[in-house]
Amino acid sequence: MRVIQRNNVTVSGSGRRTIVFAHGFGCDQQAWKDVIPAFSTEYRTVAFDHVGAGQSDLSAFDPEKYGSLHGYKRDILEVLDALDLSDVIFAGHSVAGMMGMLAAIERPDRFASLIMVCPSPCYVDEPGYKGGFSRQDLDELLEVIDSNFLG
């Protein structure tokens, strides 16, 4: 089960239904540490780190694979497959909401519902669309995350 180690998958709680928690960029599964306990008596909970974040296997990072959300979508589906999960409630923060949407479109049998916390279809401003960041703002944000992740 290499995928379990690659994505530092954490399974806890009890219950017949499963909630999968996916963090946004710039954080890791610890973003859900105060949320998961509220559900762990009635649900099995699954949290994981996207490759490149938290305690994921950093050597698994492939710029080509992770150059689009589809690489992260594949990882989500591989986690669900490795744990043999279907009919899950998927909670995704920020860009992970969009990753979950892509995964659910490809494999609807794995998902019962999606909870999207602050998703956006596009984070970069384009002519006629205000996504929240100019290209320069986004590049600066990524540089800050890269140089001072904890800050």
Distance of CA 48 to the CA centre of its chain: 8
pLDDT on residue 99? 96
CA dist list (Å): 76 to 6, 17, 49, 128: 12, 17, 10, 32
pLDDT on residue 29? 97
Amino acid, res. 129: Y
pTM higher than 0.75 for the full model?
A: yes
- Structure confidence by residue, pLDDT tens digits, 33-90: 999 999 999 999 999 999 999 999 999 999 899 988 999 999 999 999 999 999 999 9
How is residue 18 written in tokens? 């499963």
Length of the chain, in residues: 151
Orientation of helix 95-106 relative to helix 69-82, angle to 10°:
60
- Structure confidence by residue, pLDDT tens digits, 90-149: 999 999 999 999 999 999 999 999 999 988 777 777 888 877 778 788 788 778 767 765
